[in-house]
Structure 1
Amino acid sequence: MAKKNKSVRRRRKRRVLFGIELFVLLILVGGLFIYAKVNEKMNKLDLDNNSEEASKVEVNEDVIGSKTLKGFTNIALFGVDNREENVKSGQSDTTIIASINNDTKEVKLVSLYRDTYVNIGNDVYTRCNAAYNTGGPTQAMSMINTNLDLNITNYVAVNFKALATAIDCLGGLDVEMTYVEIKNMNDYCVETSEVTGMDYEPIEMPEYPGDDKQESEILGSFHLNGVQATSYCRIRYTSGWDMKRTERQRYIISLIVEKAKKASLSTLNDIMDQVFPMIATDFSKSDLVKLGMGILSYKLGETSGFPTSNIMGDEVKRSPVGQDYVIPTTLETNVKALHQFLFGEESYEPSETVKKRSDYIAGFSGFGNSYVSDEQKALISERASTYDGSALKQSGSSGSAGSDDNNDSDYSDYSDYSDSGSSDYSDSGSSDYSDSGSSGYSDSSDYSDGGSSDYNSGDDYDDSNDSGSNNDNGYSDGGDSGYSDGGSDDSGNNYDNGSGGEDSYE
C-alpha cells in the first residue's frame, strides 16, 4: 500500500514523538525513595541542582511574592523527543503544568497545547514547544511563567521510552476505547514498538459500529501493555485533535496513579531501576523526599488544557501569522481562566507582561476579543489595547523561507512568513525573528516545519534529521521528514495536514 511505502522511505530518520504527561513519575521519584529506603537508587536520576541555571528562570515581577501561589507547588513536566539518555535537550512534545495544593494535596494538571502561539523568549513568537529546544528546561519554564503568570522553578523531564517502560513495570493498564481509537492505536504501535524495542500484540478489530458511533461508542475495556498504552496517548487525528489527545494522556495518568498506589515494593524497585535513568529533574533529594512522603495523600483532581479559548486551522493560516498555530483568544482572558481553575482566583488581574503580549498577539493575528469563547466572555477586559502595530512587518518576499538538508521543505504556501530577519516577531518591534541574529534561533538551521509531510499509518512524526534535538542547530520543526502520526481515514487515504507543518489542525 502507498502508506506503507512512504513509511519505508522515511524509516531511517524517523523519530518518535508522543505525549508523556507523567505526573506519576514525579511522585514515584520521591515516593519510591521513601518506601525502598535505598539511597543508591536516587543516583540513577539525573539530578540537575544547578543554582545558577535556576536563577535564570524568569518570573513576571507582578507574580513574585504572590500570596496565592505560595499555597501551591507548581511543577513543569516535559515529555522530550530525544532518544538519547540526555533528556535536557531535544524538543518537548508534551508540556504539562502540575499544580499541587499544599494543604489539600489535590493535584490539577494543565496541558499546554504545543502549537500555542506565544513569546518563547528573546521576543520570538512561535510554537510554545520551541522553547525547550532553544534553551532547555530553563527557557521552557521561563516561557510558561512569563506567558501564564506562574512561578515554576522546578521541572521533571522524561525521554520517549519512560512511559512505556513504567506501564509495563506496573503490569499494563485497562483502557476503555472506541472503534477509531482501537484502529489508530494499532497503527501507532508499529512505530512505537520499532523505536522502543518493546513488543506488543495488535488488538483484533471489533465489528464496525457505524459512522455515527465509531468515535463515540465505548466498545469495552482493553488490557494494554506499555507500547499499546503509549500509542493510545499519541492518537491525535480524530475529532478533538490535540485537545482530545491531551485528554487521553491525562486519562492514562489517572490509571497509572491508581495502579502505582497499589504496587508492591518489588514492582516499585523495578521502576526505579528501569525508569529513573530516563528522568531528569532539578529537584534536590530532600525536595523529592518531601514530595514522596505525601504519596498516598495526593488526589488527582480536575484536568484541563491551555488555551481553552482559541482559534486554529485555515483561518489562522490566512491571517498575518501565516502558520497553523493555536492562537489564544485572548492570552489575557485565558490566563484569567487558568488562575481561576488552578488557584480559585475569581478576580485575577494578569500582569502587565501578559497584557502586553496578549495585545500583541491579538493585534498581530487579528483575533482579539470578538473571538473569545462564550465561556470566557465575562473575563474580557475593557481596557485599551497597548498594541500599536509597530511590530507588524511581513516581508512578503520570503516565498520559501525555510529549507532543510534535503531541500524538500519549504514555506511556499505562506508568502508572508519570513525567516530572514526582515520580519519582527516582537513585543516592542525591536527584535527580529532571525536564524542568524540574536533571537535565539541561530547558526545553520532554518525554521523548518515539515515541508512535504504526510500523515500516514504506522509511520510517526520525524522531527528532521538531528536538528530537533541539537541546540547548536537552531530550531527545526520537521526538516526533511514527514509527519506521520499513525493513521489513515477509513477510505485508506493518508491524513495530509496540508500546511507543511509539524502540527496542523485542519
Structure 2
Amino acid sequence: MGQRDDRRLARKKQEMRRQKRRKKRRRRIVFLVAEILILCILSVIAYGMFKLDKLNVNPLKNLTNNGISQDGYMNVAIFGDDRRPEDTGNARSDCIIIASINNDTKEVKLVSVYRDTLLNTEDDTYDKANSAYAVGGAEAAVNMLNRNLDLDIQDYVSVNFLAVADVVDLLGGIDLELTDEEVVHMNNYCVETSEITGKKYKKIEPEVAGTYHLNGVQAVSYSRIRYTEGGDFQRTSRQRLVIEKIAEEAKKADLSTINKIIDAVFPEITTSFTSGEIVKMSAGLLQYSIGDNEGFPMDNETPDSIPGYQGSYVVPKGLEENVIKLHKFLFPDEDYTPTDTLKEISDHIKDVTGIYPDDSEDSTEDNEE
C-alpha cells in the first residue's frame, strides 16, 4: 500500500509539473502575441506620425474671445484660401466655415459666414469678414469670429483650391445635381480652376440640368459659383454641399485611398492641430456625421451703399439678434446671454448702416417671452 501511494503521489507531482510547464508556455505565447500586437500598433502610429509631418502646423498663440466657452463642443474654423500662383502674403479667405462638433453625439454642424459680412475685423476697424485673414492670417480671422459671434474657436484648418480638387479626384469624384445655369457657370469657372490647379477636366455638353459625376476641377468650380439667383448666399450653400459629399465618400474609402489622399493633400493644408490631436480624432472618424448647416447672418440686407464704405456688403439685421439665433442652432442646450463686447459691435454696425432688426421679429420675440 505504501509503495503504491508513493507512486501515485509521484505521478501526481509529475502531472502538476507538466501543467505548470504548459501554463508557462501558454503565458509566454500570450506575452509574445501581445508584444507583436503592441509592435504593430506602434508601427502604425509611427507611420501615421510620419505622414502627419507632411502637414503645415501653425499653432495659434494669441487667441482671444469674449470670455465665452462652449462646453461639450469643439469649434473649428475652416478657411478656403483663394490664393493664385502669383499671389504673395496672405490672401482673403474665399470660404469661411465654422464646424461645430458635438463631443457626445459626434454630429458636425456647419455654418458658412458670408465673406462680405460687415464685422469688427480688428480693434476699431470694421470691414468684410474675409479681410481679417488677409491682414493677419488665420489667428486674426479666428479672433474675429470669436469676437463677433461670441464663440470659443481654438483651432483652424486652411485649404486651397488644389487640396480640394486632389481629394475629390482621389475619392473618384462626387455626384451633384446641377441646374441649367449652374452647368454654364461651372464650365466657365473650370477654365481658371484648371489653370490654377494644373488639373484637367471635361466640359459638360450640352449645358443642361441633370445629375453629374464631377471631378476635382469641376467640384471646386461648382463651389465657386456666385452669379446665380442667391448670389454669395447660394455659393456658400454649394460649398457646404461639396464638403458633405466629400465626407460621404471618405467614409467609404479604403486605406490605400486614404493613404494617397494624405500624401497628396497634407502638404497643401495648414492647421493649428497637433499630430497627437489629429491621431486622437482620426480614431473615431467613422463616428462623425454631418448634421444641419446654415449661413450667417441668417437675417441680413445687402444695401446699395454704406456711408464711408465702398463695394458691396452683407449687413446683419442686428448682429446681436443673429448671434442669438446662431447659438440656438449650434448649441441648443446652451444658456446663452450675449456679451457686452458683442452688444457694442452690434450697436456700432446699426449706427453706421442704419439697418436694424425687423420690428415684426422684435414683436414676435416679445410675444414669445
| TM-score bucket of the superposed structures, by smaller chain | 0.7 to 0.9
Q: Is the contact between residue 306 and residue 353 of structure 2 (CA under 8 Å) also seen in structure 1?
A: no
- CA distance in 2 between counterparts of 1:154 and 1:87 reads 24
Residue by residue over 1:430-477, the C-alpha shift from the partner in whole angstroms, topping out at 9 and shown as x without a partner, is xxxxxxxxxxxxxxxxxxxxxxxxxxxxxxxxxxxxxxxxxxxxxxxx
From 42, 59, 65, give the equivalent of 1:59: 65
Whichever structure has more helix as a proportion of its residues is: 2
Q: How do residues 25-424 of structure 1 correspond to structure 2 at under 5 angstroms?
A: 37-49=47-59, 53-54=60-61, 56-61=62-67, 63=68, 66=69, 69-83=70-84, 89-206=90-207, 219-314=209-304, 317=305, 319=307, 321=309, 323-345=311-333, 348-370=336-358, 378-379=364-365
Q: Is the contact between residue 319 and residue 366 of structure 1 (CA under 8 Å) also seen in structure 2?
A: no
- CA distance in 2 between counterparts of 1:87 and 1:376 reads 46
Q: Structure 2 vs 1, CA of residues 113 and 380 (structure 1 numbering), >3 Å: closer, same or farther?
A: farther
Q: Is the contact between residue 182 and residue 205 of structure 1 (CA under 8 Å) also seen in structure 2?
A: no
Unaligned residue ranges in structure 2 (runs of 5+): 1-42
Q: Is the contact between residue 159 and residue 270 of structure 2 (CA under 8 Å) also seen in structure 1?
A: yes
- CA distance in 1 between counterparts of 2:139 and 2:86 reads 18
Q: Structure 2 vs 1, CA of residues 380 and 190 (structure 1 numbering), >3 Å: closer, same or farther?
A: farther
Instruction: Name the aligned partner's letter for residue 276 of structure 1.
Output: F
Q: Structure 2 vs 1, CA of residues 144 and 233 (structure 1 numbering), >3 Å: closer, same or farther?
A: same
Task: Give the match's secondary structure for 1:182.
Answer: helix
- CA distance in 1 between counterparts of 2:99 and 2:217 reads 24
Instruction: Name the aligned partner's letter for residue 50 of structure 2.
Output: E
User: Once the 2 structures are TM-superposed, how far is the Cα of residue 196 of structure 1 from its aligned partner?
Assistant: 1.1
- CA distance in 1 between counterparts of 2:245 and 2:363 reads 35
User: Once the 2 structures are TM-superposed, how far is the Cα of residue 76 of structure 1 from its aligned partner?
Assistant: 0.5
Residue by residue over 1:83-136, the C-alpha shift from the partner in whole angstroms, topping out at 9 and shown as x without a partner, is 469998322111110000000000000000000001001210010101011111
Unaligned residue ranges in structure 1 (runs of 5+): 1-32, 208-218, 382-506
Residue by residue over 1:300-347, the C-alpha shift from the partner in whole angstroms, topping out at 9 and shown as x without a partner, is 000001101000042xx1656554210111100000000000000576
Q: Structure 2 vs 1, CA of residues 34 and 167 (structure 1 numbering), >3 Å: closer, same or farther?
A: farther
Instruction: Name the aligned partner's letter for residue 269 of structure 1.
Output: N
Q: Structure 2 vs 1, CA of residues 354 and 192 (structure 1 numbering), >3 Å: closer, same or farther?
A: same
Q: Structure 2 vs 1, CA of residues 115 and 206 (structure 1 numbering), >3 Å: closer, same or farther?
A: closer
Q: How do residues 437-476 of structure 1 correspond to structure 2 at under 5 angstroms?
A: none
Q: Structure 2 vs 1, CA of residues 224 and 41 (structure 1 numbering), >3 Å: closer, same or farther?
A: same
Q: Structure 2 vs 1, CA of residues 360 and 41 (structure 1 numbering), >3 Å: closer, same or farther?
A: same
- Structure 1 partner of 2:6: none
Q: Structure 2 vs 1, CA of residues 72 and 347 (structure 1 numbering), >3 Å: closer, same or farther?
A: closer
Q: Is the contact between residue 188 and residue 234 of structure 1 (CA under 8 Å) also seen in structure 2?
A: yes
Give the total of aligned pairs.
325
Instruction: Name the aligned partner's letter for residue 177 of structure 1.
Output: L
Instruction: Name the aligned partner's letter for residue 347 of structure 2.
Output: D
- CA distance in 2 between counterparts of 1:266 and 1:352 reads 51
Q: Is the contact between residue 306 and residue 352 of structure 2 (CA under 8 Å) also seen in structure 1?
A: no
User: Once the 2 structures are TM-superposed, how far is the Cα of residue 285 of structure 1 from its aligned partner?
Assistant: 1.1
Q: Structure 2 vs 1, CA of residues 378 and 291 (structure 1 numbering), >3 Å: closer, same or farther?
A: farther
Larger radius of gyration: 2
Instruction: Name the aligned partner's letter for residue 125 of structure 1.
Output: Y
Q: Structure 2 vs 1, CA of residues 365 and 165 (structure 1 numbering), >3 Å: closer, same or farther?
A: same
Q: Structure 2 vs 1, CA of residues 365 and 359 (structure 1 numbering), >3 Å: closer, same or farther?
A: same
- CA distance in 1 between counterparts of 2:116 and 2:86 reads 26
Q: Is the contact between residue 177 and residue 220 of structure 1 (CA under 8 Å) also seen in structure 2?
A: yes
Task: Give the match's secondary structure for 2:138.
Answer: helix
- CA distance in 1 between counterparts of 2:253 and 2:87 reads 28
Q: Is the contact between residue 184 and residue 207 of structure 2 (CA under 8 Å) also seen in structure 1?
A: no
Q: Structure 2 vs 1, CA of residues 253 and 302 (structure 1 numbering), >3 Å: closer, same or farther?
A: same
Q: Structure 2 vs 1, CA of residues 377 and 301 (structure 1 numbering), >3 Å: closer, same or farther?
A: farther
- CA distance in 1 between counterparts of 2:206 and 2:317 reads 40
User: Once the 2 structures are TM-superposed, how far is the Cα of residue 252 of structure 1 from its aligned partner?
Assistant: 1.1
